[in-house]
Amino acid sequence: MRWNPMLRVGAAVFAVGLVAAACGQQESLGGGGGQAPEYEVVQDPRFAPGTTMAELSEAGTIRIGTKFDQPLFGLRNLDGQMRGFDVEIAKIISGQLGIAPEDIEWVQSPSAQREDLIERGEVDMVVATYTINDERAQRVSFAGPYYQAGQILMVRSDNQEITGPDSLRGSGARVCTVTGSTPSENIRPFIEESQLVLFQQYSQCRDALGTDQVDVVTTDNVILLGYVANSEGQFKLVGDTFTEEPYGVGIPKGDVQFCLFINQALTEAAGTGAYQRAWEATAGTVAEETPELPELNSCR
Amino acid sequence: MQPVISFLGAVVGYFDPVIDNIGLFADAFLHTLEIVVYAAVGSLALGTVVAAFRVSPVSPLRWVGTSWVTVFRNCPLTVVLFFCAFGLPEIGINGAYFWFGVTGLVLYTSAFVSEAVRSGINSVSAGQAEAARAIGLTFRQSMGQVVFPQAFRTVVPPLGSVIIAMIKNSAIVGAFGVGNELFSVHATLVSARGLALIPVLLGVAAGYLIITLTGGALLGVLERKVAIAR
Amino acid sequence: MTATTPPMIKMAAVNKHFGSLHVLRDVDLEVDRGQVVVVLGPSGSGKSTLCRTINRLEPIDQGTIEVDGAPLPAEGRELARLRADVGMVFQQFNLFAHKTVIENVTLGPIKVRKLGRSQAHETAMTLLDRVGITDQADKYPAQLSGGQQQRAAIARALAMRPKVMLFDEPTSALDPEMINEVLDVMVALADEGMTMLVITHEMGFARRAAHRVVFMSDGEIVEDAAPQEFFTAPRSDRARDFLGKILTH
């Protein structure tokens, strides 16, 4: 590791931050700073008998699948606290069912297992950077989307040359992403084959960016936001997202009532400002703009 | 006749993922060929030098040779490649991942080449080297003029195995930033583009077989040649 | 020979061990220019080792060895230069198996003496003529009889124009009918005034060609005398015992 002065300062700040966190402050870089916002928990909500909402509300508890290792979206801290935008969205929805955050049972849901968890009934819903697509919609239903993610570029902070995907070709910049990934296919039209560097994991791309071996890392903005947040100013995102990855709430296939209920909850949250507070307390700590709630699907 | 034609049609259709992307396969094949040619030349040269170190009369050189073989023969190739791809940039050595990958293969394979060459050297009777030294040849000359040419004969078959193993090992470098080599074609076509796995992997296997079988045939010719040159 | 010319070979207080085995014990030996010295002794007496220490094929533990007035250098270029001046003939011939006879004889002159190919070839053919195997020049060692191989090996050593020749049991690996063709070459060489140190069991050669006989036993030089004197009146019991064993048959 080469310790340039910026990094040294960054490390010092980070160390101070660690001490502060140890002194009881509820802070963590990965999960977004600040006090976790509170949301309305409806007292004695009424639902038509036999619906999923009635069952969950009656039970007073809900099992929610999310990522445990995705900074800013779904991250479990060392002390067991759940942090991130997905977590906040799940809390908002649960509140509308009359379930308080402490009554939520969090279930780790890695990407490859999400459909299985829903189909086997091991979770009631999944909020886990879960991109809506036709293939997945064969097996599960999606409420939302509650966020429009997309592929974006990350560069070293001192890079002025790269401003977006269109500036890549001809710049000779080496662009890193993961072998066999959707982002690797999406970036190909913007670069020469020789510019592409492929690894097994995004963390390897990030390390290569840190050692000047590559100039750009590209994948979903959600993943890159986490790296920027932890880079102590070394990296930044440039340009707009250039693909659309709508994140939905995964629920059992065909549960239209539940889908409509979740969409209702999301719409209300956007109206009351709960949605915005959820963002600002998490991903909003490193992202510049607070997103609008995207147009919701019809649940049919 | 009709069933035969439709059967053949189905077989050909099964390999559509390969046939439709034959250009990609060809590029990747040539790229892999390039990697293994550089790695073969590099590891044969380096491995021979290391073997010479191991039998040299100078004890620090022997120590270096032995350590070299011990380290690189006993480390997994993935670890060696990790150090090349991520370790070298950490200490300020920047370069193309292609060369990091080739370097990793060369370092790793040189240890095995060295062992094969050393066993060949040991198969040459000690008297040959003594006679060479007795007429005043230097260590390098006695190695180059007397020992290596005789060792070469016994060394060709084991070296062939080492090089063929290296060719197969080259499939790993795709995971270390060396893009567009033969093995990584399956990731591009299967994971990213959703094509069927088995026909694509059969295509990849065919690519490697072309390289290894050709290499094996060339070795056979070489083996017969050195056997006659006596 | 004046008093100021150093002996060709001078060994002083040389000791050598193989592990716990003390193979050379305080060996002192001088060989003057033009002298032919035959070393005799039972097997395991250290005579081969003695021979091999002179061009440092075997390093020694203590003592000094000088060749033509200069101490033996350590491993490296210097030593290679010295070895070029000291010809050596091995029991097992050790001809380079992948080279023809003529290539064996010209390798040293070309690589070490930096002679031109044609000049080296010419000299080599003269030498092969001298040892009587010109017709074998283009054959590989494996195609030759033992006697022919050993004569080729002598030619190879002579091609370096050595100051001294070491013979390490040159006839021990030969079938009896081939021994004389090699000894004849060696006698001729001695007659020409070559300085020679010869380890052998051939008493006939010792009587005919040697100026001195050195008798070794258990790593020590026990006797050092003229051949006539040694064979007729050995002074030590060990020498008497040895001669008794080899001459009774």
Query: Measured between CB atoms, which of B89, B176, B191 is closest to A211?
Result: B89
Full-prediction pTM beyond 0.90?
Answer: no
Q: Is residue B9 part of a domain?
A: no
Q: What is the pLDDT of residue A8?
A: 47
Most confident residue range from A45-54, A164-173, C220-229: C220-229
What is the CA C71 to chain-centroid distance, rounded?
Answer: 19
pLDDT tens-digit map of B129-146: 999 999 999 988 998 999
Q: Is residue B17 part of a domain?
A: no
pLDDT tens-digit map of A18-42: 443 443 333 344 444 456 788 888 8
Q: What is the pLDDT of residue C248?
A: 63
Q: Inter-chain contact A208–B191, Cβ cutoff 8 Å?
A: no
> Would you place residue B195 in the very low, low, confident or very high pLDDT band (cuts 50, 70, 90)?
confident
How close, in Å, is residue A103 to chain B by CA atoms? 38
Give the total number of structural domains in chain B: 1
Query: Measured between CB atoms, which of C98, C108, C142 is closest to B150?
Result: C98
Residue B34, domain extent: 22-228
pLDDT (mean) for C11-16: 95
With 50 as the cut, is the pLDDT of residue A13 above it?
A: no
Q: Is residue B99 part of a domain?
A: yes
* DSSP codes joined into one string, A126-176: E-SS-B--HHHHTTEEEEEEEEEE-EEEEEETT--S--SGGGTTTTT--EE
Interface test with B, best of C94, C103, C123 (most B CBs within 10 A): C94
pLDDT tens-digit map of B20-77: 888 889 999 999 999 999 999 999 999 999 999 998 888 899 999 999 999 999 999 9
Among the listed residues B172, B209, B16, the one whose alpha carbon sits nearest the alpha carbon of residue B79: B172
pLDDT (mean) for C128-136: 94
Q: In chain B, pLDDT over 90 holds for what percent of residues? A: 57
pLDDT tens-digit map of C147-163: 999 999 999 999 999 99
Integer angstrom CA distances of residue C147 from A34, A234, A262, C98 = 98, 80, 103, 19
What are chain A's domains?
16-148+247-285 (3.40.190.10), 151-238 (3.40.190.10)
With 50 as the cut, is the pLDDT of residue A178 above it?
A: yes
Interface of C with B (CB under 8 A): 55, 57, 75, 77, 80-88, 90, 92, 94-98, 107-108, 111-112, 140, 142, 153, 156-157, 160
Q: Is residue B11 part of a domain?
A: no
Query: Measured between CB atoms, which of B94, B175, B187 is closest to A212?
Result: B94
Q: Is residue B4 part of a domain?
A: no
Q: Is residue B73 part of a domain?
A: yes
Termini Cα distance of chain A: 53
Query: Measured between CB atoms, which of B135, B229, B230 is closest to C156?
Result: B135
From chain B, pick out residues whose CB is under 8 angstroms from the CB of A184. 188, 192
> Would you place residue A1 in the very low, low, confident or very high pLDDT band (cuts 50, 70, 90)?
very low
* Minimum mean pLDDT range among A31-40, A252-261, B181-190, C20-29: A31-40
pLDDT tens-digit map of A209-262: 999 999 999 998 888 988 888 888 899 999 888 998 899 999 999 999 999 999
Q: Inter-chain contact A180–B190, Cβ cutoff 8 Å?
A: yes
- Chain A touched by B193 (CB under 8 Å): yes
- Chain A touched by B103 (CB under 8 Å): no
From chain C, pick out residues whose CB is under 8 angstroms from the CB of B230. 97-98, 140, 142
pLDDT (mean) for B111-119: 95
Torsion angle of the four alpha carbons C61, C64, C70, C72, in this order, in degrees rounded to the nearest 10 = -10
Question: Number of residue pairs across A and B with CB atoms under 8 Å?
Answer: 57
Query: Measured between CB atoms, which of A184, A198, A211 is closest to B90?
Result: A211
**Residue located via tokens 């020749």:** C165
Give the span between the Cα atoms of B172 and B102, in whole angstroms. 11
From chain B, pick out residues whose CB is under 8 angstroms from the CB of A213. 89, 94, 97, 177
Q: What is the pLDDT of residue C237?
A: 92
From chain B, pick out residues whose CB is under 8 angstroms from the CB of A193. 179-180
Q: How many CB atoms lie within 10 A of CB A267?
A: 13
Q: What is the pLDDT of residue B180?
A: 79
Q: Inter-chain contact C98–B138, Cβ cutoff 8 Å?
A: no
pLDDT (mean) for B114-120: 93
With 70 as the cut, is the pLDDT of residue A17 above it?
A: no
Strands (E) across C32-141 are located at 36-40, 62-67, 70-71, 86-89
> Two tokens at A62?
């809900």
* DSSP codes joined into one string, C39-50: EE--TTSSHHHH
Most confident residue range from B181-190, B220-229, C52-61: C52-61
CATH at residue B106: 1.10.3720.10
Integer angstrom CA distances of residue B50 from A80, A148, A201 = 53, 57, 35
Q: Is residue B168 part of a domain?
A: yes
Q: Is residue B195 part of a domain?
A: yes
What is the CA A117 to chain-centroid distance, rounded?
Answer: 19
Count Cβ atoms within 10 A of the Cβ of residue B97 and give its class: 0-12 exposed, 13-18 middle, 19 or more buried.
buried
Helices C146-158/C176-191 angle, 10° precision? 20
